[in-house]
Structure 1
Amino acid sequence: MDREELMSIAADAVNESELKSTDIPAISLYVDQILNLVAEKLKDGSERYHDRQLTKTMINNYSKDRVISPVKGKKYTKEQIVQILMVYSLKSTLSIGEIKRVLDGAYATEGFSESDMTALYDRHLDIKNEGKWFAQSMLGDLIDHNTLDLSNDRDYITAICALASLSNQLKNIAQAMIDVRFPEPEESDEESDKEKEKALEKEKEREKDIEKALEKYNAKIEKTMEKAKKKEAKMKRSSDNNE
């Protein structure tokens, strides 16, 4: 493989098509309508993204984990759809908990509204699209700087490892930024007590399981000893008869 072939692969790999806020109707939508919107948009991008579709389970989990605003009824507002798309865009890199902290932090900002959420999402997509070209340029620089020969298996594997390592480092930086600005909320005394109660219940259950296991073990030992005694008595009687 030469450099031109790799750059072609890279271009296809980052060719992801995502819904912009202007693609979303101003009216509230049912889950199936949201899924259809996203699925149709994915078709405009690389084929590798066609099977990475948003699902009903994902949306239900986002709502259940309170990553998006509470849903009233069965329809989602445009603001909630934008929240869903933001989570969907970030979930391959950040955990749901980390994304929730970021969105909670955004909404904690004084005066943060639906229009601000929409603007944040659109800005995110703009920078993400710029990042596609930046990633390809960085790949070229990586090859040139390290004089990698892509026709050589070792150099090809080295390039893969370097990209994976760089991806992980950038992820670590993003997580560190979240920890600094949006740290995990401290557990309340009530939540702490509940956790302690759960731990205590689990410990009691574990002790009961151990007791049951010991009872079974002791019963098995007693049964074995009883059989041994009977066998010994039988052998003794047989010996006495022979005498």
Structure 2
Amino acid sequence: MEDNIKEMMENLHLDSKLTMDDIPNLDLYMDQVIQLFENKYAAAKRNEEEKILTKTMINNYSKGKLFFPIKNKKYSPEHVMLINMIYEMKTSLSIRDIKQTLDPLNNRMMKEEFELNPIYEFFLELTEKNLERFSNDSNEIINEVKKSSDALQEDDDYWNKFFLILSFVNMSNYYCRVAEALVDEMESKELKKD
């Protein structure tokens, strides 16, 4: 079981990320942004039909003011960085929560000379460290499930996967709830300012 799960996790390409080197140092049209994401994250798709990024998604992010306004129908490298952060957050947070999280950053981008590159680089470093933590935690979870399955005398592949699914979803829920609480705290502080 353990080797099978590790191989499965490797096949998910969780280490896929859009680095600074991947982002052209020039403004891109929407189709070019979509192509950049599709190329970078193609291996991480669940199936061939899945779309990483679509025109509708980008338009919704723009209408929802998840990133500062574009100029001349082109997206700057900073927009691409923000879209990638949105891509990371959208599976766990609502659009409203993402907007709340990014509003202070977008306001800084619009009001002052603000360098997003170091913020994005740190985000990439965290992503790398989080993947390492995830790998270590996953190994612990796999070992615990194996021990429990042995104790229950249910060494069936179904039960192992069943308990792993429950455990991974449970951990995901914990992290998601903490993230939502942090968003709520940010919103509360913003309301107090006003």
Is residue 2:175 matched to residue 1:170?
A: yes
Give the whole-Å Cα distance in 2 for the aligned partners of 1:108 and 1:47.
Answer: 32
CA RMSD of the aligned region, Å? 2.6
Give the whole-Å Cα distance in 1 for the aligned partners of 2:13 and 2:64.
Answer: 29
The alpha-carbon deviation at position 73 of structure 1 amounts to 2.1
SS at match of 1:168: helix
Contact 2:15 2:131 in 1 (8 A): no
When normalised by structure 1's length, the TM-score is: 0.66
Give the whole-Å Cα distance in 2 for the aligned partners of 1:108 and 1:59.
Answer: 19
Percentage of pairs with the same residue: 27
- Counterpart in 2 of 1:42? 41
Paired AA for residue 157 in structure 1 = F
What does 1:126-141 align with in structure 2 at a 5 Å threshold? 126-141=125-140
Structure 1 residues 49 and 97, CA, compared in 2 at 3 Å: closer, same or farther? farther
Give the whole-Å Cα distance in 2 for the aligned partners of 1:183 and 1:10.
Answer: 38
The alpha-carbon deviation at position 9 of structure 1 amounts to 1.0
Give the whole-Å Cα distance in 1 for the aligned partners of 2:22 and 2:74.
Answer: 17
The alpha-carbon deviation at position 185 of structure 1 amounts to 6.1
When normalised by structure 2's length, the TM-score is: 0.81
Give the whole-Å Cα distance in 2 for the aligned partners of 1:118 and 1:49.
Answer: 32
Contact 1:62 1:68 in 2 (8 A): yes
The alpha-carbon deviation at position 143 of structure 1 amounts to 2.8
Give the whole-Å Cα distance in 1 for the aligned partners of 2:47 and 2:100.
Answer: 27
Deviation string for 1:109-162 (max 9, x for gaps)?
Answer: 6987442x2222222222122222322221221232351448423343122111
Corresponding pairs, count: 183
Give the whole-Å Cα distance in 2 for the aligned partners of 1:184 and 1:65.
Answer: 21
SS at match of 1:54: coil
- Counterpart in 2 of 1:24? 23
Structure 1 residues 108 and 29, CA, compared in 2 at 3 Å: closer, same or farther? closer
Give the whole-Å Cα distance in 2 for the aligned partners of 1:29 and 1:109.
Answer: 22
Contact 1:16 1:42 in 2 (8 A): no
Contact 1:94 1:175 in 2 (8 A): yes
Structure 1 residues 74 and 47, CA, compared in 2 at 3 Å: closer, same or farther? closer
Give the whole-Å Cα distance in 2 for the aligned partners of 1:16 and 1:108.
Answer: 30
Give the whole-Å Cα distance in 1 for the aligned partners of 2:160 and 2:41.
Answer: 33
Flag the structure with more relative contact order, 1 or 2, with Cα contacts below 8 A and sequence separation at least 6. 2
Structure 1 residues 138 and 48, CA, compared in 2 at 3 Å: closer, same or farther? same
The alpha-carbon deviation at position 101 of structure 1 amounts to 1.0
Paired AA for residue 162 in structure 1 = S
The alpha-carbon deviation at position 22 of structure 1 amounts to 2.6
What does 1:1-243 align with in structure 2 at a 5 Å threshold? 2-43=1-42, 45-46=43-44, 48=46, 51-107=50-106, 113-115=113-115, 117-146=116-145, 147-149=147-149, 151-152=155-156, 153-183=158-188
Unmatched 5+ residue regions in structure 1? 187-243
Unmatched 5+ residue regions in structure 2? none
Deviation string for 1:164-190 (max 9, x for gaps)?
Answer: 11101110001111111333965xxxx
SS at match of 1:48: coil
List structure 1 runs of 4+ shifted beyond 6 angstroms: 109-112
